[in-house]
Amino acid sequence: MTTPPMIRVVPPLQAESRPAQDQLLDGRTLIIASNRGPVTFTLEEDGSFSSRKGSGGVVTAVSAIARNRQPVWIAAAMTEGDRARAELAQQNGEGLISPPGDAPEFRLRFVVPTAESYHSYYNEISNPLLWFLQHYLWDTPRSPDITAATWKAWHEGYVAVNRLFAEEILAACSHCEQPPVIMLQDYHLYLCAGFIREQDPEAIIQHFVHIPWPDPDYWRLLPMTMRRSILEGMLGNDIVGLQTPSHARSFMYTCEAYVPGASVDYAGFSVEWNGRRTDVRSYPISVDTAAVRRAAYSKEARSHDRYLPNHWNEFTVLRVDRAEPSKNIVRGFQAFDRFLEAHEEFQGRVNFVAITVPSRMDVEEYQDYLDDVSAVVGRINAKYANVETGWQPIHMIMGENYPRALAAMKWYDVLLVNSIIDGMNLVAKEGALLNERNGVLILSEGAGAAIQMGDDAIMVAPADIEGTADAIYQALTMPLAERRHHADRLRRTVEDDDVAEWFRHQLDDIAARALGNAEVAAAEQGILDSKGSSSAD
Ligand code: GDG
């Protein structure tokens, strides 16, 4: 049986002097939904729960506004501890879970799919299919193969888990007197807005996509049913946010190409479909500058300051990434090899330190990629290692340790960010903020960060090994005054536009949209006067 759509009387927002954003959020429940939650729980031996807060940009951005708003966060239960905590909440009839602490910044609701369904959604569709598609990662004569198993994973994994998310979100706002504000995150949840919209026509729904949006031709690698479900699901949103204007345009091209009846206004950045308008916007994400600085100079980070210098040399090139094919780690090392070949005078004097965080090890392509990375490092180190001095050119530091990664960023001479394509790339921003040596940024043209930082970086085409080798040489030989000039400008770029701005711009647009929706609702309720202005004007 389908539940009838929720109906509320929507009060128009009042004209007053406070920012529209504050007015809008008054009395409205703010719901954030993401695959990974802001907190993970561990069930301790004594039966109690401990929790650990995540360190991602979205968590810190939301935390910054959360103290007053108490948003509700909907996330998948990812650990045994999360599942146990969700079960306890259900037994106790706790609608929302408050993480331990006197004033928790948000309350939680977990989505608890079966292990098989979650595996299909995460390890078969979201990461190997959607992430690969959106980063142009396929060797297309060979992959992807959409088989019966893929379709099963789509229906029983991706569609099913998106439905569960929508149900939890609707349940979280079932008693809301005013339409809630729902902010969905990333490629795991493309179907959610469509499912929510079927039940709640008045909710204000916004979806931010953290990764690139490819052009329509590449989307054709997915079958039409999947492609259309994703796009039509996304057109259930009031606002779709992407990292850059070019990804926003690609989203609109894709809607025009594959959604029958969609009408795109490229100048106005919006898509009309099924009687609704979806605004398409770009919001370049950034870092929480204060929190990143705090973490980089924390006691824990300082403990790494003692042994990290063992890896430094007269010159140090640094990279920090998840072990992720889109980050282009192998080509980065090949470029360093070419640089050492072409500039023998640097042999013995420069180290390439690669801080690598293992990622998505349940996906075969990631295991294979890490093998490729290890193989190229072994080959290059064997080629140049100097037995007399003990010098080896590449130092791999593996493992999950965020304070250590930030500690290392203080000391590089060159930061290499050569992603094939990247939504933004926060390492480029953290490095610019923290570096104390007037370090030079080498930045891929494919990183979203290139739009804001490209003028003060040495830009490289990601497949250009020879060009990247030249860029390393140029960076290491750049005069100090020039390095300082660019490093100062890069730091200011990040300081002037941190993650709070990213979040504020989205809330401003949501507020503007809510004002618009309230006017439409008022018109529908016959409240407009004969001149066509409502009390919200
Ligand atoms: C996606 C998009 C977009 C480093 N070591 C550890 C650790 N880090 C931090 C880095 C940085 C973050 O992880 C990685 O962020 P990136 O932006 O570089 O890359 P993705 O993970 O691919 O993020 C990307 C981003 O979303 C935000 O929208 O910029 O384009 O692909 O902050 O310093 N974090 C943890 N442990 C470590 O050991 N937890």
Give the model's pLDDT for residue 347. 98
Q: How far is the CA of 475 from the centre of ligand 1 (A)?
A: 24
Q: How far is the CA of 322 from the centre of ligand 1 (A)?
A: 7
Domain boundaries along the sequence of the chain: 22-286+511-515, 295-496
Q: What is the pLDDT of residues 46-62, one digit of tens each?
A: 988 888 877 665 676 67
Q: Is it the case that residue 536 has pLDDT exceeding 50? A: no
Structure tokens at 530: 């004969």
Q: How far is the CA of 95 from the centre of ligand 1 (A)?
A: 32
pTM for this structure?
0.93
Task: Please provide the average confidence, as pLDDT, over all residues in the chain.
Answer: 90
320 CB near ligand 1 (under 6 Å): yes
User: Which of 131, 184, 322 has most ligand 1 atoms within 8 Å of CB, for mutation?
Assistant: 322
Domains 22-286+511-515 and 295-496 share a fold: yes
400 CB near ligand 1 (under 6 Å): yes
Give the model's pLDDT for residue 146. 98
Q: What is the pLDDT of residues 122-167, one digit of tens each?
A: 999 999 999 999 999 999 999 999 999 999 999 999 999 999 999 9
Question: Looking at the domain that runs over 295-496, which CATH code has it been given?
Answer: 3.40.50.2000
Q: How far is the CA of 91 from the centre of ligand 1 (A)?
A: 36
User: Which of 286, 415, 424 has most ligand 1 atoms within 8 Å of CB, for mutation?
Assistant: 424
Q: How far is the CA of 464 from the centre of ligand 1 (A)?
A: 24
199 CB near ligand 1 (under 6 Å): no
What sign results for the dihedral spanned by CA atoms 404, 407, 412, 414? positive
Task: Give the residue, 14 or 292, on which the prediction is more confident.
Answer: 292
447 CB near ligand 1 (under 6 Å): no
Classified as helix, coil or strand, 486 is helix
Q: How far apart are the first and last CA of the chain?
A: 41
Q: Class of the 22-286+511-515 domain?
A: alpha beta
Q: DSSP letter string over 304-345?
A: HHTTGGGG--SEEEEEEEES-GGG-HHHHHHHHHHHHHH-GG
Q: What is the pLDDT of residues 403-458, one digit of tens each?
A: 999 999 999 999 999 999 999 999 999 999 999 999 999 999 999 999 999 999 99
Per the CB < 8 A criterion, the answer to whether 33 and 192 are in contact is: yes
111 CB near ligand 1 (under 6 Å): no
